[in-house]
Amino acid sequence: MKNYQSPVPVVSATSTESLQGMDDLLTGTSTDTKSILKTTVSDDSAASNMMYNRTKEISELEQRVMQYDAMLKQNRSETDDLHRTIAAKDTELIAEKNHRLQIEEQLRQQFDNQKRIADMHAIDNKASSNEKFNKLLETYNKLRDEHAIVLNREGETKKQLTDITQQHSQLKEEHQKKEEEFNQNQDKINNEIVQLRQTNDELQDRIQVLTTERNDYQSITKTTAERMKEIENAKQNVEERFKQLENDKTRIDNDKSSFEQKLKQTEGARRDLHDKNREHEENLIDLLHDKETLELKVIDLEESARKWAQKFVETTDKQKLIQTTHEKLLSNLKRQHKFSILTYCINQMHDGIDRMKNKELSGEKNTSEYLLSKIQMAIASTKKIQDLYKKQNESDETTTLAFINECITLSNYMVDIVIHGKAASNFAQNVDLANSCRDTTLYCIDIYTNYQTPSASNDSDKQTNELIHRLNSLIEKCKTLLKKLYLN
């Protein structure tokens, strides 16, 4: 274990150099490509798109190389961890071996001491007493107990040693597996590096083809310069500057160094303008795309608004239809309720008229007074009904309900008038009063029947006034009857 050396992965330096050379070739940092780019800034969109795709592929390859570097670093860290654990286990094994050697040395010393004690015991048996023998026996027993403890410790250390050896073998197997996986990954990485070199060579050939194509595109720079004038106002300033430079060419040739500096500045500005032009084109494309999406959204919103408007119209029509049907049903219910209540009142008054036929009805002096009060109440109720009948067609439900309730009260009054009129006439032997009460009640029944089936020919106001007139005549007759009764 002391002579064990951990395997160290070695990556050839040529791969990094080739990668650096590939980066130089692919990113176009050489002087030849720079000079070509300076002369061919105004290439068309096809070449720029091709270069963009190539740069994208280069960035993807660089990312893959970075991933492989990260995998190499991770494998190296794992191997370092394994080496550390193996070294720690080696130190533990060495410590256990030293401990075992110490225990063996102690056992040897104990055996030597036992031999010496035996010799001393033999000598003391000859010359010493039983006390020395007992002391030696006690020391012997102590040494024997210590020897047993040492043997137990030795067994435990042997068990620990076997466990450590097993762990060491397991770690060794794991290390071998990790080493095999590392070698496999290293082989894969080397193969991928070879593939990357091949792709690098292919890309280099492709770049050469593109450079030849760029040289062919130099003849189109004039037309592209005219087209660039229309793209941006800033470029017009640059072209005017170029025209000024062409006009002053004879003067600039005298000072070549200043011309080169100005040329570099103009080329840099032209490159910046080309980049800005590209950015503006991309922004224009994005804006056109956004415009198309917004137009589609507007169309969808208009369609949805049209649908919602149609639904709104349909729902409003349905609501109007429901409202009209509800109003019709409500009016029918009101009419039916009114008809049933008036029918009840008519039947009640007919029952009162039928009760007049009872010959056993008899009254007193108070009956005429009670009759007079009921007639007065009936007049007030009739006037109230007259007002409510005029208002019920123009007002809400409360007026109709008040009208129906007042009709019920009037019918009750008329029943009392019929019955008590008959009783008072029987008491005073005046048949005219009973007949007048009956006729007035029948006339009230006719008014209620007209209320059930209203028509234009029926003059309800006139009929109501007639009923009030008849009730007033009943009051006069009742008063004359009371005078006769009080005189008698």
- What domains are defined for the chain? 13-222 (1.10.287), 323-487 (1.20.1420.10)
Per-residue CA distances from 29 to 22, 34, 36, 200, 429 (Å): 11, 7, 11, 15, 142
- Locus of tokens 């002579």: 3
> In this predicted structure, what is the pLDDT of residue 2?
42
Least confident of 1-15, 46-60, 412-426: 1-15
Look-up of token digits 């280069």:
58
User: What is the pLDDT, as a whole number, of residue 31?
Assistant: 47
Chain center to CA of 406: 63
Q: Would you say residue 10 has pLDDT above 50?
A: no
| Cα 75-81-82 angle, rounded to 5 deg | 90
Residue 253's SS3 state is helix
pLDDT at 41 exceeding the cut of 80: no
Q: How far apart are CA 141 and CA 147, in angstroms?
A: 10
- The mean pLDDT of 374-393, rounded to a whole number, is 85
- Cα–Cα distance measured from residue 72 to residue 60, given in angstroms and rounded to the nearest whole number: 18
> Where residue 380 falls among pLDDT bands split at 50, 70, 90?
very high
Average pLDDT across the chain, whole number: 76
d(CA 113, CA 218): 106
Q: For the residues 139-155, what does the mean pLDDT come to?
A: 80
What is d(CA 339, CA 334) in angstroms, rounded to the nearest whole number?
8
Report the alpha-carbon distance of residue 15 to residue 200 in Å, rounded: 12
b/e 221-236 (16+ beta carbons within 10 angstroms → b):
eeeeeeebeebeeebe
- Confidence label for 395 from pLDDT (cuts 50, 70 and 90): low
Residue 360 to residue 386: CA distance in whole angstroms? 36
How far is residue 418's CA from residue 122's CA, in Å, rounded to a whole number? 161
Segment 398-413 mean pLDDT:
86
Q: Is the pLDDT confidence value at 76 over 50?
A: yes
Mean pLDDT of 239-267: 74
Q: Which amino acid is at 319?
A: Q
pTM, 2 dp: 0.36
Neighbours of 320 (CB within 10 A): 10
Residue with the larger pLDDT of the pair 368 and 217: 368
pLDDT tens digits for range 203-217: 778 778 877 777 776
Calculate mean pLDDT across residues 167-193.
Answer: 80
pLDDT at 125 over 50: yes
Is pLDDT larger for residue 406 or for residue 116?
Answer: 406
Cα distance from N-terminal residue to C-terminal residue, the chain: 156
Evaluate whether 467 touches 382 at the Cβ level (below 8 Å).
Answer: yes
Instruction: Say if residues 267 and 245 touch (Cβ distance below 8 Å).
Output: no
The candidate with the shortest Cα–Cα distance to 368, out of 418, 424, 417, is 424
Q: Of 200 and 6, which is predicted with more confidence? A: 200
**Both tokens assigned to 465:** 């006034």
Residues 6+ apart with CB under 8 A from 424: 363, 367, 368, 371, 430, 433, 434, 478, 481
How large is the average pLDDT for residues 93-113? Answer: 79
Q: How far is the C-alpha of 63 from the C-alpha of 60, rounded, in Å?
A: 5
The CA distance from 234 to 231, in Å, is: 9
Q: What is the mean pLDDT of residues 257-264?
A: 72
Please say whether the beta carbons of 434 and 341 come within 8 A: no
CA 131 → CA 128, 134, 139, distances in Å? 8, 5, 12
Candidate from 12-16, 76-80, 106-110 with smallest mean pLDDT: 12-16
Side-chain-side CA neighbours of 108 within 13 Å: the count stands at 6
Residue 463 has pLDDT above 70, yes or no: yes
What's the pLDDT score for residue 1? 41
Q: Give per-residue pLDDT as tens, 286-338.
A: 888 888 888 888 888 888 888 888 888 888 888 888 888 777 777 777 778 88
Highest mean pLDDT among 3-7, 73-77, 258-262: 73-77
Name which of 87-96, 142-151, 274-283, 360-369 the model is least confident about.
360-369
In this structure, are residues 485 and 375 in contact, taking their beta carbons and an 8 Å threshold? no
pLDDT of residue 228: 67
Do 164 and 172 contact (CB within 8 A), yes or no?
Answer: no
Per-residue CA distances from 416 to 324, 364, 370, 402, 404 (Å): 43, 15, 9, 21, 19
User: What does residue 41 show for φ and ψ, rounded to 5 degrees?
Assistant: -70, -30
**Alpha-carbon radius of gyration of the chain:** 64
Q: Distance between CA atoms of 466 and 344, rounded to whole angstroms? A: 23
Confidence of residue 22 (pLDDT cuts 50, 70, 90): very low
Nearest to 99 by CA among 155, 169, 154, 166: 154
Distance between CA atoms of residues 447 and 392, nearest Å: 16
Q: Which has more confidence, 482 or 474?
A: 474
Q: What is the mean pLDDT of residues 33-60?
A: 66
337 contacts 407 by C-beta, under 8 angstroms: no
Provide the 8-state DSSP code for 254: T
